[in-house]
Structure 1
Amino acid sequence: MNHMPLYWQFVKIKLKAMADYRSSFLIITFSKTLMWAVEVFVLWILIDRFKTIAGWSSYEVLLLFGLNLSSYALAGFFFYHPFVYLPRRIQSGEFDEMLTKPMNPFLYLLSREFSTGYFSNLGVAVIVMGLAFAKLDLGLDWIDLLFLIAVILGGAMIQAAAFVFAAVPAFWITQSSSLSRLMWDFKGFIRYPLSAYNSFIQVLLTLILPFAFINFYPAQYFLGKDDFLLFHPSFQYAAPLVGLLLFLLAYRFWRFGLKHYRSTGS
């Protein structure tokens, strides 16, 4: 906690650089916004073609998309660059230099690599969620709004933990990108309702790789659905707790990996 003021100074530097090169930032933001808009359009066309997916309407599936993308954006700001590129830094020896700093390596890595490239993701997610709530006529009182914020933060911690879990094996397996791709391939399943899949996928995405807590189970609360499949209805409230526990577990995994790290000697 003593280093948090320093961390925010690093973030301010990144934001200042964004302001200094605003033309580049605006072009990148526009292109990414267009990319996500196209993805939303393709998803809409797919659902409209089949009318419903496992009993979920178009706007209900868009709510799943918005919850997923908003939490991914929050995690991406802080965790994408530090951990997606960690194997490359280990191979080059750059990570060894980070270990010489008088600061927690985890926090130092996050400080150096804050990304400003996720404002487009967050903007599209907010628009999609707002559209879904409006079209489904889902009024939010202040308790619902607080729970929505908690759900998004919980989902962000789940996604951040996934970044960490996917990167840490690089401490032992220099080429660990295949493990990372496999994890994120499974995350692609949550674009659609979990009820569209068989029991194996439902258990996998709930208990092994708990990505379903990012959007599927919380959506039950807002939509008033009773679509809990193999699991208890209380799971609709569990996203913040699952996110916190998973993030703490990911950090312990990081500490374990760091303790047993051996430099590549590059």
Structure 2
Amino acid sequence: MEDIVSLFFAYAKLGIKTRFQYKLDSVVSSFAVFFREAAGIIAMYFSLLKFDTINNWNINELMFLFSLIFITYGIFIVFFMALRDFSDWIKHGDIDRVMVRPRGILTQLVLCGADWLAALGHGTLGITLFILSANNVGVEWNAATILYYVISIASGVFIQGAVFLFFLAISIYFIETQNLKEIMYWNLRKFAGYPISIYNKFIQSLLIFVVPFAFVNYFLAQFLLRKPDMSTYPEWFMYISPFVGIIPYIIAYFFWKFSMRYYKSTGN
């Protein structure tokens, strides 16, 4: 484990040096990510100037929901970005190079795949939204709520890691999975920024049982905020939120291990 940690920091140092080789471009890139994602928050803000609340969620509570999406994704792309882009590794034959090294394939992908510029942009936006909203949503921050929050953040990272680990396994069979990712991750992620109670039952089921974004932010926020729309769902959803991430990740991991038996090089 100590060796793996040292390798992670070695890769991180190398990745940061590589990314910031052109300093101006790197800074502009991080700001571009920040402002691109912030555009949706700005649109939400101006909408609420007219409607005041969305299903009884005010602007601060919605910012709190969005902060969880951006913070978890910012951490996710530090550790799991290579999983997001795995189909490119297969298409270009890069996975063959990884397979002949003495380290495990997944270990190498986690160690060398961080996108520090995107992580900075998403993470900064998430932290900014959290700072702006956390003291204005009525949460009593104590040891218990802080611990719940931190563990749930880790769970949210693992939920998204599980989704892309599943796509990684699917890529072994079909090579290109970009459109599937677009539908099952990126589009659903847009829905997840808002309270899932505003959607029809089909969308809610997708966000709870198929790609469980609801456990990344909604049920976490419900534990802390206790909004009235929680009565639509089983109360225990709030209490399992910190532990949900590990279950889909383990399932996706074993599916990936099984799928690797059928890997064939693209020959590039």
Same fold flag (TM > 0.5): yes
- 1:101 alignment partner in structure 2: 101
Offset at residue 123 of structure 1 (A) = 1.2
Alpha-carbon contact 1:74-1:156 (below 8 Å) kept: yes
**Deviation of residue 47 (structure 1)?**
2.7
1:195 counterpart residue number: 197
When the two chains are superposed, the root-mean-square deviation of aligned CA atoms in Å is: 1.9
Which structure 2 residues correspond to residues 71-86 of structure 1 after superposition, within 5 A?
Answer: 71-80=72-81, 82-86=82-86
Tell me, in whole angstroms, the C-alpha distance in 2 between the residues paired with 1:159 and 1:116. 17
**C-alpha contact 2:152 2:243 (8 A) present in aligned 1:** no
Give the aligned partner of residue 181 of structure 1.
182
Cα deviation digits, residues 105-150 of structure 1 (max 9, x gap)? 0111222222112112111111111211222243311221121111
Counterpart selection for 2:249 from 230, 247, 250: 247
Deviation at 1:219, TM superposition (A): 0.6
Deviation at 1:50, TM superposition (A): 2.1
After TM superposition, the structure 1 = structure 2 runs for residues 7-86 of structure 1, keeping only pairs within 5 Å, are 7-18=8-19, 21-80=22-81, 82-86=82-86
In the TM superposition, what is the alpha-carbon distance from 1:193 to its structure 2 partner?
0.6
Within-5 A mapping of 1:229-240: 229-240=231-242
Structure 2 counterpart of 1:236, which letter? Answer: M
Q: Following the alignment from structure 2 to structure 1, what is the Cα–Cα distance between the partners of residues 239 and 131?
A: 21
Q: CA deviation at 1:218?
A: 0.7
Report how many residues are paired: 265
Alpha-carbon deviation of 1:21?
4.3
Distance 2:226 2:238 in 1: 10
Q: CA deviation at 1:18?
A: 4.6
Indicate yes or no: 2:221 matched with 1:216.
no
**2:121 paired residue number:** 120
Q: Is the 8 A contact 1:3 1:103 kept in 2?
A: no
- Unaligned ranges ≥5, structure 1: none
The TM-score normalised by the length of structure 1 is 0.92
Q: Is the 8 A contact 2:93 2:267 kept in 1?
A: yes
Q: What is the match of residue 207 of structure 1?
A: 209
SS in structure 2 of the partner of residue 31 of structure 1? helix
| Alpha carbons 1:167, 1:180 under 8 Å: kept | no
Change (3 A) 1:73 1:170: same
Paired with 1:76 and 1:154, the residues of 2 have a C-alpha distance of 14
**Aligned mates of 1:18, 1:265 — CA distance in 2:** 29
| Partner residue, 1:259 | 261
Query: Residues 154 and 240 of structure 1 are in contact (CA less than 8 Å); yes or no, is this contact kept in structure 2?
Result: yes
State the shift of 1:19 in Å. 5.5
Q: Mark the CA change 1:124 to 1:205 in structure 2 (over 3 Å): closer, same or farther.
A: same
CA distance in 1, matches of 2:240, 2:217: 11
Is this contact kept in 2: 1:76–1:160, CA < 8 A?
no
**2-side partners of 1:15 and 1:178: how far apart?**
30
Structure 1 pair 65–161 and aligned structure 2 pair: CA distance change class (3 A)? same
Distance 1:146 1:27 in 2: 35
Q: Post-superposition shift, 1:196?
A: 0.3
Distance 1:165 1:129 in 2: 30
- Tell me the distance in 2 between the aligned counterparts of 1:204 and 1:172: 24
Superposition deviation, residue 207 in structure 1: 1.6
**Matched letter for residue 72 of structure 1:** Y
Q: Quick one: percent identity of the two aligned structures?
A: 26
Structure 1 stretch displaced more, 224-233 or 240-249: 224-233
- The separation in 1 between residues aligned to 2:20 and 2:94, in whole angstroms, is 28
